[in-house]
């Protein structure tokens, strides 16, 4: 599996490609910015390795504690964290749940101190209206997040495949060398026996001639 620095380099290397392809397909600067920003965020902070104590986890700083229940609930490199679409969807829902909980806590504390806030119904209606008006922007952001996560997962799977291929080659080379050693070990005694028999035959012939 590649290291955290390698994953970061892959993300920064692919980012211009994602931006160029997105702009070529959409001809929109705002959508290109959302896809590219989502890709960068997904590759650096919102990727599959949030299920362990990784570089992505550490980048959340003070708020990294919100991912501890996520880590304890999932096995590392499981389909729910590294799987296509479902991994990003699960992390997005998990983060949205925390945003709702923390937002509600802030509203409750503000009301305790006498600060007037809008009610839940009004806030929910405004949020749903904003989502319906900006469907294309939301889809672009989700696509960027998924691309960033999949670049991470694909590099993991590719690195594991290369390691398995190298280990199989090394094992095959070791088995061949061990077979060669066994063959040479079996040949040497036969050669010694043949030499000894030829020597004994020569000495017997000399004695008989004398």
Exposed / middle / buried, residue 171 (Cβ in 10 Å: 0-12, 13-18, 19+): exposed
**Is residue 21 a part of any domain in this protein?**
yes
Give the total number of structural domains in the chain: 1
Which range marks the domain in which residue 50 is found?
A: 4-166
**Is residue 157 a part of any domain in this protein?**
yes
Residue 204 structure tokens: 């017997």
**Is residue 17 a part of any domain in this protein?**
yes
- What are the tens digits of pLDDT across the range 42-74? 999 999 999 999 999 999 999 999 999 999 999
**Is residue 78 a part of any domain in this protein?**
yes
Residue among 9, 12, 83, 5 at smallest CA distance from 48: 83
**202 vs 92, residue with greater confidence:** 92
Measured between alpha carbons, how far is 168 from 42 in angstroms, rounded to an integer? Answer: 33
**Is residue 210 a part of any domain in this protein?**
no
**Is residue 209 a part of any domain in this protein?**
no
Please give the radius of gyration of the chain, using alpha carbons only, rounded to the nearest integer.
33
Which residue carries 């590719």 as its tokens? 158
- What are the tens digits of pLDDT across the range 98-107? 998 998 888 8
**Is residue 203 a part of any domain in this protein?**
no
**Is residue 125 a part of any domain in this protein?**
yes
CA distances from 152 to 46, 48, 55, 147 (A): 10, 7, 12, 9
Range among 65-69, 98-102, 127-131, 163-167 rated most confident: 65-69
């Amino acid at each position: 599996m590649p290291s955290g620095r390698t994953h970061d380099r892959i993300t920064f290397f692919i980012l211009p490609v994602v931006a160029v392809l997105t702009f070529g397909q959409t001809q929109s600067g705002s959508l290109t910015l959302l896809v590219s920003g989502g890709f960068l965020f997904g590759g650096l902070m919102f990727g599959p390795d949030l299920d362990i104590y990784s570089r992505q986890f550490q980048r959340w700083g003070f708020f990294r504690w919100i991912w501890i229940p996520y880590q304890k609930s999932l096995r590392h490199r499981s389909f729910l964290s590294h799987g296509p679409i479902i991994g990003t969807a699960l992390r997005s829902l998990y983060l949205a749940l925390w945003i709702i909980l923390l937002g509600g806590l802030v509203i409750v504390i503000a009301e305790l101190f006498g600060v007037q806030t809008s009610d839940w119904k009004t806030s929910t209606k405004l949020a749903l209206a904003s989502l319906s008006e900006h469907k294309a922007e939301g889809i672009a952001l989700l696509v960027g997040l998924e691309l960033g996560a999949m670049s991470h997962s694909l590099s993991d799977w590719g690195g594991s495949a290369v390691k398995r291929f190298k280990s199989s080659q090394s094992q095959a080379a070791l088995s061949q060398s061990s077979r060669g050693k066994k063959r040479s070990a079996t040949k040497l005694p036969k050669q010694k026996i043949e030499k000894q028999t030829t020597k004994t035959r020569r000495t017997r012939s000399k004695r008989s001639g004398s």
